Chains A and B, each alone.
Chain A
C-alpha cells in the first residue's frame, strides 16, 4: 500500500515562505475553485491557506536556535478528521493515502477541523466548505506533466530542498531513507493519529572526512602513497615541484 507524504527537513528550511506562496498559487488556480482571501489589501487580511511557515526560537539567549517550521496537512495514516465527518466528504484515498475533502459534499459544519489536533484544516469563507492540503493531487498523476513536474508545488518551489516527497511505505524510497537515517519523527505522537508527513530534526553540521577521501583508496598503483615528501628546507610549490 502506498502512502504518499512529505518529509520536511528542519535542518535546511530557511523560512523563506516559497512553499506557502507556491502552494497558494497552484491551488488557487485549480479546478477546485479559488482559495479566497478577504481584505487582501485591507486592515485585517485573511484567507485560506494550505501551508504555513512558522518560526520558533529554541533555547535561551545567547544559546538560541531559530527553527523555521513549515506546517501543512500531515495526511495521517489514521486520520481523526475522517470518521467524524457526517457526510463522507472527508476521506482518505486507499490508493495513495492522501486525505481529501470532496468540496461538493461538504456541508461546512467544521466538525472535522475540531477533530484535527494539528489545526491543519481551514474553512473557506467564500465557498463555505472545509479545505485542506491536497498534496497537489491534481499534479501527481497528470499525464501532461513531466515526471519532474508531477510533484507537489511546495516541493518544487523549495530552494533548499527542505521538502522531500515520496512513498513512506516503500522502504527504498528517498523519503524512507531520510526518515531512517536522519531521525525522522512525527508531530504530537501522543494522539496516535500516525501522521504520514515526517520532520527531520536539526543536526549539528560538521565536516566529516573519511581517510579514503583524503588518500585515494581506489588507487590501484598506490601512486598517491608513493609521492616523495619534500624535505623541510626544500622549496615547495604545492606538490608540483617535488616530482
Chain B
C-alpha cells in the first residue's frame, strides 16, 4: 500500500494522546490507593490533559487531510454497525470530550465525592470521568487497529497482532511523553513513568517483531492464476491496459525499493524501541536530564512514524497482481 502521511500522523498522534491520558490516569489510580504521592490537580492532571488533547486534536486535523470531501466528514459516523472506521469516528471525539472533561474537572478542582469504597477510598468525579475515558482510550486503540485488521485479504494486517501493536506502540509513546511531562511537572513520578514506558516499549518490541516474523512467513493466497482464473503455472502480464498511471498504480504501491523497505525496518526497530529504552533508562536511574527524556520521546515518535510507514508499505494488496506490466 502507499503510505499516506495524513494517516501516519493520525494514528501516531492519537496514539500518543491516548497513551499520555492512560499514563495520567494510571498515576491517579496509583495515588488513589496511596501507592504514589498525590499530585496537584491543576499543575499535573489539568496540564497533562491539555497536552494529551493537543496531540489528539493534531491527529484529528491530520485525518481531515486524508479525506477527499472533508466537509462531509460528519456522515462517517452513521455506519457504526458495520464499519470500524465509522466506530473510530465516533469514539475519537467521545474520547477527546472525556479527556477535556477530565482536565476541566481537575482544572477547577471540581471533585465531589460520588462514592466511597469499603476500604474508605473516596471515588470522586475525576475518577469516574477518568474511568470512562480509560475505557474509551482502549476502545479507540481497538477501532484504529481493527480498521486494518478486519481486511482479510491484506494478510499482513489481518491478525490480532495488528490491534495489539496499536495498543502497545501508542501506549509506549504516551508513557514516554508522560515521563517527559513528569520531569517538568512532577519530578517524583519520573521513575514511575519511565519504568512503565520501558516495559510497554519492550512489550511493543516483542509484539512488533512477532508480527514481522509472521509477515515474513506469509505465503500469498492470491496468485495470477486465481486473479484471472487460468490454471497454467506460467502466466505473464503483457499490459495492464494503459501506459500512464491510474488510481490502482498510485494507491496500492509504495514505489520504493526492497532495500529501502528493509532499511526502514531496521531504522524503526532502533529508533522506536532500542534508543528510547536506553534513554529512558537514564530516567530510571535517577540521573535524568529532561532534555534526554525529551530526546527519547522525539526519537520514539519519529521511529513510530517510520514504523507506521513500514506498516502500510509492507501490506501487499492482491489487486497489485493486475498491475505488473506496462506495454
Contact = CB atoms under 8 A, between A and B. Distances in A.
Interface of A: 17, 20, 39, 44-49, 52-60, 66-67, 69, 71, 80, 83-89, 105-111, 113-119, 121-123, 127-130, 185-191, 199, 201-202
B113 interface: no
B251 A110 contact: yes
Interface in B173-195: none
- Chain B contact-residue range equals 35 or more
Given A117-B153, A118-B322, A49 B246 contact: yes
A84 B322 contact: no
Nearest to A115: B151
A55 B232 CA distance: 15
B227 A87 contact: no
Interface stretch (B51-59, B61-69, B201-209, B288-296): B61-69
B245 interface: yes
Given A54-B322, A122-B246, A188-B222, A87 B75 contact: yes
27 contacts: A45-B244, A57-B235, A59-B234, A69-B228, A80-B153, A84-B82, A86-B86, A86-B89, A87-B72, A107-B70, A109-B76, A111-B85, A114-B1, A115-B151, A117-B153, A117-B319, A118-B322, A119-B317, A122-B246, A122-B247, A186-B229, A188-B226, A189-B226, A191-B153, A191-B318, A199-B228, A202-B230
A71 B84 CA distance: 29
Given A107-B68, A108-B69, A123 B247 contact: yes
B78 interface: yes
Contact of B67 (A56, A66, A88, A107): A107
Contact of B227 (A48, A86, A188): A188
B138 interface: no
A86 B69 CA distance: 13
B213 interface: no
B319 A107 contact: no
Contact of B245 (A44, A116, A123, A127): A44
Contacts of A189: 226
B298 interface: no
Contact of B241 (A44, A45, A52, A130): A52
Given A105-B75, A116-B319, A111 B69 contact: no
User: Which one of B147, B154, B229, B319 has the highest number of Cβ atoms from chain A below 10 Å of its Cβ?
Assistant: B229
